[in-house]
């Protein structure tokens, strides 16, 4: 394809819409808050880059208390390995036919730590490493109550699986990991603390069983943004993987991971039309620009497909939301005291997404603003990101 014709615009007033805006000041604050929480709990942070998928964002997440990164796809692993990241945990259960790609990523110069909960797959890892001479570090996935994948910490097969990995010539049993995805159903700090404790107990129990059987289990990894921030203690845990905390979203704000003021990512949009007879305006952020995620359907304040803010990022009061989306149209009901006349065609607005991991994946990069060091409207940097597999 020939060179694309794109605007050279450098402020939110002139960027082509829809596009993705990242407030660097809020990103830094969010990272600082998580870093403090990890230090308080005596664990290292292994940032999960499935949300950001961006080198410049990852570069803000290095330091003595950062133990490497986690990723959700092998494409992410390749991208970060090619950009110098050397300790990469592929935090999704591996399958035998993905081993070859993981091995090739290691040839770039990174360790790609694998995850499995399955004896058959573990045997395939051992066979592959024996046959190829590749060395893989492997974590055993534990279910701490999410009921998606992983072994129960008391499962009899845990020790068979650990033994299979520990006994292999070219496999290093690194330890255990779990994901408290069910923290997303919590609606109070007390509930989050309870899930965090269940998460901790599950992996620590599994690690102790493995150690009691005479095997090493150096890594004890947990991970979800709510539990990472609100755990009362993480005794026995070595690292926490968390990702969405960097950006935050409306759903996370409602489940107490952050406040609306912490949301670092929004979609820049403009008003495209009015239907005064129906009391709504249309914007150019539809189903593709926002994603069809409806996380907030299940929390107290359902914001439809996104929560509207003005160009400075200030949420409207009373709130305005995207009630319906079509592929390229968002439909925003405008009710009293708001008036359609306040939203002329061409007015630029920002929308906070329900689920930023889904929304960000629709864009090739972030237009970076900074609400502390700049006026918050000037584009101070442009950061690329990847999507896909």
Among 11, 25, 65, 96, binds a copy of itself (CB under 8 A): 96
Pick the piece of the chain touching a copy of itself (CB under 8 A) from 22-30, 131-139, 166-174, 281-289. 281-289
Nearer CB in complex with a copy of itself: 18/226: 18
Instruction: Check: CB of residue 329 under 8 Å from CB of residue 282.
Output: yes
Query: Does residue 156 touch a copy of itself according to CB under 8 A?
Result: no
Shortest CB 31 distance to a copy of itself, Å? 20
Q: What are phi and psi of 86, to 5 degrees?
A: -110, -15
Q: Is 141 in a helix, a strand, or coil?
A: strand
Query: Does residue 306 touch a copy of itself according to CB under 8 A?
Result: no
Query: Does residue 351 touch a copy of itself according to CB under 8 A?
Result: no
- Taking the C-alpha atoms of residue 54 and residue 56, their distance in angstroms, rounded to an integer, is 6
C-alpha pair distances (Å), 133 with each of 45, 98, 139:
31, 16, 19
Site track for a copy of itself across 21-40, x = CB under 8 A: --------------------
Query: Does residue 341 touch a copy of itself according to CB under 8 A?
Result: no
Nearer CB in complex with a copy of itself: 277/300: 277
Query: Does residue 377 touch a copy of itself according to CB under 8 A?
Result: no
Q: Is the peptide bond before 18 cis (omega within 30 degrees of 0)?
A: yes
Eight-state DSSP code of residue 13: T
Query: Does residue 248 touch a copy of itself according to CB under 8 A?
Result: no
- Of 233, 231, 175, nearest to 208 (Cα)? 175
- Taking the C-alpha atoms of residue 333 and residue 179, their distance in angstroms, rounded to an integer, is 38
Shortest CB 255 distance to a copy of itself, Å? 16
Shortest CB 87 distance to a copy of itself, Å? 19
Shortest CB 388 distance to a copy of itself, Å? 6
Query: Does residue 249 touch a copy of itself according to CB under 8 A?
Result: no
Shortest CB 114 distance to a copy of itself, Å? 12
* 389: its two tokens: 């597999």
Per DSSP, the chain holds a count of helices (H) and strands (E) of 11, 17
Query: Does residue 362 touch a copy of itself according to CB under 8 A?
Result: yes
Total residues in contact with a copy of itself, by rule CB under 8 A:
75
Query: Does residue 321 touch a copy of itself according to CB under 8 A?
Result: no
Pick the piece of the chain touching a copy of itself (CB under 8 A) from 38-46, 98-106, 198-206, 216-224. 98-106
Helices 157-167 and 189-212 cross at an angle (nearest 10°) of 60
- Taking the C-alpha atoms of residue 72 and residue 79, their distance in angstroms, rounded to an integer, is 12
Query: Does residue 123 touch a copy of itself according to CB under 8 A?
Result: no
- Of 47, 28, 40, nearest to 241 (Cα)? 47
Q: Is the peptide bond before 173 cis (omega within 30 degrees of 0)?
A: no
Site for a copy of itself in 58-77 (CB under 8 A): 72-75
Among 10, 28, 33, 101, binds a copy of itself (CB under 8 A): 101
Instruction: Check: CB of residue 336 under 8 Å from CB of residue 231.
Output: no
């Amino acid at each position: 394809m020939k060179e694309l014709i794109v605007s050279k615009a450098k402020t939110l007033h002139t960027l082509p819409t829809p596009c993705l805006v990242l407030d660097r000041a809020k990103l830094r604050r969010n990272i600082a808050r998580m870093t403090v929480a990890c230090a308080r709990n005596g664990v290292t942070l292994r940032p999960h880059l499935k949300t950001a998928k961006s080198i410049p964002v990852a570069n803000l997440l290095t330091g003595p208390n950062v133990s490497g990164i986690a990723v959700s796809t092998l494409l992410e692993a390749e991208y970060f390995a090619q950009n110098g990241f050397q300790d990469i945990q592929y935090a999704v259960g591996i399958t035998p036919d993905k081993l070859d790609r993981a091995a090739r990523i290691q040839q770039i110069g990174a360790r790609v730590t694998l995850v499995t909960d399955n004896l058959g797959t573990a045997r395939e890892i051992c066979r592959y490493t024996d046959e190829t001479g590749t060395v893989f570090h492997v974590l055993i996935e534990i279910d701490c109550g999410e009921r998606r994948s992983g072994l129960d910490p008391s499962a009899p097969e845990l020790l068979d699986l650990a033994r299979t990995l520990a006994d292999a010539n070219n496999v290093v049993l690194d330890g255990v990991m779990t994901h408290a995805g069910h923290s997303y159903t919590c609606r109070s700090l007390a509930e989050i603390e309870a899930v965090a404790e269940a998460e901790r107990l599950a992996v620590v129990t599994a690690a102790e069983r493995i150690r009691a059987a005479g095997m090493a289990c150096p890594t004890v990894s947990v991970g979800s943004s709510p539990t990472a921030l609100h755990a009362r203690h993480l005794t026995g845990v070595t690292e926490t993987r968390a990702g969405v905390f960097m950006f935050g979203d409306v759903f996370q704000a409602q489940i107490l991971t952050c406040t609306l003021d912490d949301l670092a990512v929004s979609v820049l949009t403009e008003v495209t039309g009015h239907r005064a007879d129906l009391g709504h305006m249309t914007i150019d952020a539809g189903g593709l620009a926002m994603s069809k995620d409806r996380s907030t359907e299940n929390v107290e304040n359902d914001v439809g497909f996104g929560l509207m803010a003005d160009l400075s990022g200030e949420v409207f009061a009373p709130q305005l939301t995207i009630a319906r989306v079509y592929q390229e149209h968002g439909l925003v009901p405008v009710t009293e005291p708001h008036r359609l006349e306040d939203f002329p065609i061409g007015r630029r607005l920002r929308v906070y997404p329900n689920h930023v991991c889904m929304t960000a994946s629709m864009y090739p990069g972030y237009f970076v603003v900074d609400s502390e060091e700049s006026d918050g409207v000037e584009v101070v940097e442009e950061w690329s990101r990847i999507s896909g597999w």
